[in-house]
A and B are shown apart, each in its own frame.
Chain A
Amino acid sequence: MIEVKDLYKEFNGSTVLKGISTTFEKGKTNMIIGQSGSGKTVFLKCLLGLHIPEKGIISFDGRIQSELGIKERRQLRQDMGMVFQGGALFDSLTIEENILFPLKMFTDKSKSEMLDRVNAVLNRVKLENVNNKFPAELSGGMQKRVAIARAIVMNPKYLFCDEPNSGLDPRTATVIDNLIQEITDEYQIITIINSHDMNSVMEIGEKIIFLKNGINAWEGTNEEIFETENEAVVEFVYSSNLFKKVREAYLSKTK
């Protein structure tokens, strides 16, 4: 379990996170939603240890981040996989080298064992014949899949995804969403996804956290989000007519 207690983060005097407390459980896809600029990426980067929070406790199955030394922190990071907003593939390396990279760096496997593992994860994200291509030669959706493959190649306990399906067509977005959920369930990891795609929130959000003005203004499941009366959530989620209608239909059916 990942526990966050009273997390504060500011940049040059302006406070972005103002006391967030929440928990994330194993085998679940957790989603962080909120307006652009609400601090989703900052929150994720605090969890990853890329930003140092001003205040608050983050603990990963009992390991408290701020109390770890440099070595232990690097060890903790080896339990983390991250899919960045833009993919963040190393563009001087081929797809195969990208995914090999953490294996080469942190394991003593033989070359053929490593390649087997690479092909296994590429298979898992349903990519073929891309091993010797460079990231720039792939489409956005394929790059995201490679990023997911790289993130899971070390069997992480925690998987973080920053808007994994932004910039993708609805169909590809759904494929990516389902992939992340399947992986989460299959390996029983803790997954945290930043998103403002309401479609994926409804599809795979087993726990949803709504960020507003630096706090988690609302938390619940993807069913509860239909029923909530919380004004801020309703205003954000149901700002589009389509989702308004979906909600009305849902509510009339269950009443």
Chain B
Amino acid sequence: MNYLKHIGKYFIMLRQVFKKPQKWSVFRELLFREIDDLGLKSMGIIMFISFFVGGVVAIQTALNVDSPFIPKYLIGFATKRGIILEFAPTFMSIILAGKVGSYITSSMGTMRVTEQIDALEVMGINSLNYLVLPKILAALFFYPILILLSMFMGIIGGYYAGLLTDLFYSEDYIYGIQLDFDPYYIKYALTKAVVFAFVITTIPAYHGFYVKGGSLEVGRASTKAVVWTSIVIILLNYFLTQMLLG
């Protein structure tokens, strides 16, 4: 029963968020700030994780197809598939849920408990629209780029794993990743990225905006936001996979 109440309140919140910005010049400024905060500042960690996980996926695959009847180029092929279909869009979104989600909840929650949100409202500003819409749009625009970057780095990571371990030849790997390239898979991954971007910004915003109490509650809300964002991503991932590939 309680869950239903939250879900209802979440959608009522969204109705306030999706209003015309009160001043475009201010909105544009905010949008760039959020692209920087939520997008550019996540590039480092995304590249780092993707590179190493890409390497691990390639090594694991190589170790598991150690049979003379399976062609070695399948290692590159499987690594590419895994990274594009699941690892980049889903795994990276969970990482972003932790990084960006906790940032959104704690910054908005702090604004709530220090009455900065009240201050916005008193000035006659629609605080939800002002605070949340730029975040959503920044994420919708920038996350597909982050996910593409993650795919790229993951595949590179696999290549270097081959170079460093002698488990497979680079030529086979490169042949494998070029094999049977289907652009639909990229579209599929980016669709997921867009949906998850929406989840990663709005669920933490909900938790931050409605915080009651003090700094302790802000901390609790951040944890809750990350947990719920991750759960929703995993569930949506299941349904989206069925819908788009099934």
Interface residues of chain A, those whose CB is within 8 Å of chain B, are 45, 48, 50, 73-78, 80, 82, 84-86, 88-92, 101-102, 104-106
Interface string of B48-61 (1 = CB under 8 A from A): 00000000000000
Task: Verify A82–B122 contact, CB threshold 8 A.
Answer: yes
Q: B5 contacts the other chain (Cβ, under 8 Å)?
A: no
Q: Which residues of B contact A (CB under 8 A)?
A: 22-23, 25-26, 107, 110-111, 114-116, 118-119, 121-125
- A88 CA to B115 CA, complexed, in Å: 5
C-alpha gap A85/B118 in the complex (Å): 11
Cross-chain pairs A/B with CB under 8 angstroms, 23 sampled: A45-B118, A48-B118, A77-B121, A77-B123, A82-B118, A82-B119, A84-B115, A85-B115, A88-B115, A88-B116, A89-B116, A90-B111, A90-B116, A90-B119, A91-B116, A92-B107, A101-B123, A102-B123, A104-B23, A104-B25, A105-B23, A105-B123, A106-B23
Kindly list chain A residues whose C-beta atoms are within 8 Å of the C-beta of B114. Answer: 86, 88, 91
**Complex Cα distance A78/B22, Å?**
13
Interface of A is mostly: helix
Q: Is the CB of A88 within 8 A of B118?
A: yes
C-alpha gap A101/B125 in the complex (Å): 11
Which residue of B is nearest A101, CB measured? B123
Name which residue of chain B comes closest to A70, CB basis. Answer: B126
B residues less than 8 Å from A104 (CB atoms): 23, 25-26
- List, in ascending order, chain A residues with CB within 8 A of B110's CB: 91
- Chain B interface SS verdict (over half): helix
Q: Flag if A74 contacts B124 (CB, 8 Å).
A: yes
A101 to B107, CA, bound (A): 19
Shortest beta-carbon distance from B26 to chain A in Å = 6
| Closest-CB distance, A119 to chain B (whole angstroms) | 20
CB distance from B124 to the nearest CB of A (A): 4
Chain B residue at minimum C-beta to C-beta distance from A82: B122
Chain A contacts for B22, CB-based, 8 A: 105
Contact of A106 among B25, B119, B124 (CB under 8 A): B124
In chain A, what residue has the closest Cβ to B120?
A90
In the bound complex, what is the Cα–Cα distance between A101 and B110 (angstroms)?
Answer: 19
- Alpha-carbon separation in the docked complex, A106 to B114 (Å): 23
Contact A86 B124 (CB under 8 A): no
Q: Give min CB distance, A145 to chain B, whole Å.
A: 16
| Other contacts beyond A45-B118, A88-B116, A90-B119: 5, CB < 8 A | A78-B124, A84-B118, A84-B119, A91-B110, A101-B123
- The smallest C-beta distance from A34 to any residue of chain B, in angstroms, reads 20
- Output the least CB separation between A134 and chain B (Å): 13
Chain A residues within an 8 Å CB radius of B115: 84-86, 88
Chain B residues lying within 8 Å of A84, measured Cβ to Cβ, are 115, 118-119
- Residues from chain B with Cβ under 8 Å of A91 in the complex: 110, 114, 116
Residue of A nearest to B110 (CB): A91
Smallest CB gap from A41: residue in B = B115
Which of B23, B119, B121 has the most chain A CB atoms closer than 10 A to its own CB? B119
Contact check, A80 vs B125: say whether CB atoms are below 8 A apart.
no
Which residues from chain A contact B119 at a C-beta distance below 8 Å? Answer: 82, 84, 88, 90
CB neighbours of B23 from chain A (8 A):
104-106
Contact B124 A48 (CB under 8 A): no
Find chain B residues with CB under 8 A from A82 CB.
118-119, 122
Residues of A within 8 A of B121 (CB): 50, 77
Residues B123 and A78 in contact, CB atoms below 8 Å apart: yes
Roughly how many angstroms separate A105 CA and B120 CA in the complex, as a whole number? 11
Complex-state Cα separation, A84 to B123, whole angstroms: 12
- CB-based contact B122/A77 at 8 Å: yes
Distance to closest chain B CB from A80 (angstroms)? 6
Q: How far does the alpha carbon of A45 sit from the alpha carbon of B117 in the complex, in Å?
A: 13
Instruction: Return B173 CB to nearest CB of chain A, in Å.
Output: 46
In the docked arrangement, what's the CA distance between A88 and B107, Å?
A: 14
B residues less than 8 Å from A45 (CB atoms) = 118
CA A76 to CA B123, docked complex, whole Å: 9
A74 to B19, CA, bound (A): 15
A75 nearest CB neighbor, chain B only: B124
- Expressed in whole angstroms, the minimum distance between the Cβ of B107 and any Cβ of chain A is 8
